[in-house]
Amino acid sequence: MKKPKRSKANNLNPALALAIEEIKKVVKGQDDIVFLTLAALLAKGHILLEGPPGTGKTTLVIALSRVLGCSFKRIQFTSDMLPTDIIGTTIYDQNAERFVFKKGPIFHNIILADEINRATPRTQSALLEAMGEGQITVEGITYKLPRPFFVIATENPIDHFGTFPLPDSQLDRFIAMAVLQYPDKNAEFEILSDGFLRDKAEELTPILNPQRVIELQERALSVKVEQSLLNYILEIADASRKHKALLFGISTRGALSIMNLARAWAFIHNREFVVPDDIKKVSGFAIPHRIKVRDSTLSPTEVIDEILDSVPVPE
């Protein structure tokens, strides 16, 4: 008698398995991107997604917000957008005879900052405090943002007309960056068979809720990292700073991002401890947007592969 095949869901954390399976109903052939986006959320970070139009970025975000039971807002960035269009502004209330703060669209759990590089640097910087501190300050008054707070920003790498590159300080706020590729033929066949998946994403069943997500974040960040693996991360960071092909390597925040992202990746895959493969896997997402390559003949991915190959893996 043949043994039944083990379900892929059995390799996942039971607290997340149902949510992941629900998301995968509308996000086809992008398993690593689904895991990475969840890992960024669980690590209390933010993620930058890059890819040509039509690769499912918006569908992924809608599906994630529905399944997590979190409030969601899409902000379409444009060149004429002002910071107040994002965070809100103070207006005069005639009935109350005083100035009151009118909250902007940023006051939601999950924010899709669509085509973020179309906004001016001044407007982009309006997200800095929100992403770093989970709050905004207007006229000296601080307003806490809802928890969890998760920004998913997108960029179109093809159309550079009318865009403003994100400054390094803004890029460093993203715990991870991923490039969405076109799905393979099997996944694309499923997409064509299922029809317009964005509408279906809005009808997915909520599996979690904001309070549950916060609890899972705390559990993910308590995943154990052995001292030898902390040293491994530090060696990777040091190697990036010394690599001849780079103008500069990753910062201390970058090293922290690798550690916390590896914790979340291990948690998703139902482990209470980080292994070297977790660190190697997430390094490909936590490092590229934090380094600058001198020689255009080398891509950030190739440099990262060289760095990972040069640093001994702890036993």
User: Domain locations in the chain?
Assistant: 9-214, 222-315
Report the alpha-carbon distance of residue 22 to residue 40 in Å, rounded.
18
Q: What are phi and psi of 83, to 5 degrees?
A: -55, -35
Please tell me the predicted confidence (pLDDT) of residue 8.
47
Q: What are phi and psi of 142, to 5 degrees?
A: -100, 135
Question: Read out DSSP for 200-252?
Answer: HHTTPPP---HHHHHHHHHHHTTSB--HHHHHHHHHHHHHHHH-TTEEE---H
Give the dihedral of Cα atoms 134, 32, 194, 198; nearest 10 deg. Answer: 20
Closest CA to 32 of 14, 49, 15: 49
> Would you tell me which CATH number, out of the four given (1.10.10.10, 1.10.3720.10, 1.10.8.80, 3.40.50.2300), belongs to the domain 222-315?
1.10.8.80
Residues 126 and 83: beta-carbon distance below 8 Å? yes
| pTM as predicted | 0.90
Q: What are phi and psi of 220, to 5 degrees?
A: -65, -40
Please tell me the predicted confidence (pLDDT) of residue 148.
96
Please tell me the predicted confidence (pLDDT) of residue 139.
84
Report the alpha-carbon distance of residue 69 to residue 37 in Å, rounded.
16
Architecture of domain 9-214: 3-Layer(aba) Sandwich (3.40)
Is 222-315 the same fold as 9-214?
no
Would you give per-residue pLDDT tens digits along the chain (315 residues)? 333 343 345 689 999 999 999 999 999 888 999 999 999 999 999 999 988 777 788 899 999 999 999 999 999 998 899 999 999 988 888 887 788 889 999 999 999 999 998 888 888 888 888 998 999 988 888 999 999 999 999 987 666 666 787 878 788 889 999 988 887 888 778 778 777 787 888 899 999 999 999 999 999 999 999 999 999 999 999 999 999 999 989 999 999 999 999 999 999 999 999 999 999 999 999 999 999 888 777 888 899 999 999 999 998
Please tell me the predicted confidence (pLDDT) of residue 153.
94
Residues 293 and 287: beta-carbon distance below 8 Å? no
Neighbours of 8 (CB within 10 A): 12
Residues 264 and 273: beta-carbon distance below 8 Å? no
Cis peptide before 148 (omega within 30 of 0): yes
Collect all residues with Cβ–Cβ distance below 8 Å to 123 and sequence separation of at least 6.
77, 81, 82, 83, 85, 86
